[in-house]
Amino acid sequence: MGGDGQVTVGTSVMKADATKIRQLADGRVLVGFAGATADAFALLERFEAKLKDHPENVPRAAIELAKDWRTDRSLRRLEALMAVVDARTTLLLTGNGDVIQPTDDVLGIGSGGNYAVAAARALMKHSTLAADEIVRTSLEIAAGIDIYTNCSIAVETLSCET
């Protein structure tokens, strides 16, 4: 999973080196977020609590968070998206109560997300790059197109240990 470091308010860059990916469950789960920063952190905390309730079942934790997000009046106002990944699952969580697993396990969120997804799919099909190199290169391509995405890129990988 990768993320850029840009935080904007309107058309101004407020921070260029933000960390938008977090490791949870002793590094077995990665969570990335886009949108309003405070909202993303609030959702991250809620997801971490759901993950503690369902430690070996990331989809169930995601569904439980989505239910709360859709029905809780204060959560419904949060403006953020989350990408959640473990060794078996890639999920998108939205404030509409969506929990979506992409067919090809390629997912992008934020303003440059669609550019990064397109680049990743092309690189997967036409290159021999390793997964982490595909993530980094895709984000670099997105940063060259989208003004709200920068080249301060962080890539996190899951441990192969069980």
Per-residue pLDDT of 6-33, as tens digits, reads 999 988 999 999 999 999 999 999 999 9
Residue 83 has pLDDT above 50, yes or no: yes
Please name the helix (run of DSSP H) or strand (run of DSSP E) that holds residue 29, with its range, or none.
Answer: strand 29-35
How many residues are there in the chain? 162
Residue 55 has pLDDT above 60, yes or no: yes
| Residue 138 backbone dihedrals phi, psi, to 5 degrees | -60, -40
Query: Which tens digit of pLDDT belongs to each residue from 136-149?
Result: 999 999 999 999 99
Those residues with Cβ within 8 angstroms of residue 62's Cβ, 6 or more apart along the chain or in another chain: 47, 50, 84, 91, 93, 99
As a whole number of angstroms, the distance between CA 7 and CA 10 comes to 10
- Taken in order of first residue, the domains within the chain and their CATH numbers are 2-150 (3.60.20.10)
User: Which pTM was predicted?
Assistant: 0.91
Comparing 68-72, 96-100, 141-145, which segment has the lowest mean pLDDT? Answer: 68-72
As a whole number of angstroms, the distance between CA 16 and CA 26 comes to 27
Residue 162 has pLDDT above 60, yes or no: no
Average pLDDT, integer, range 105-131: 96
Residue 71 has pLDDT above 60, yes or no: yes
The two three-digit tokens of residue 132, written as one number:
């982490």
Report the Cα–Cα distance between both ends of the chain, in Å, rounded.
19
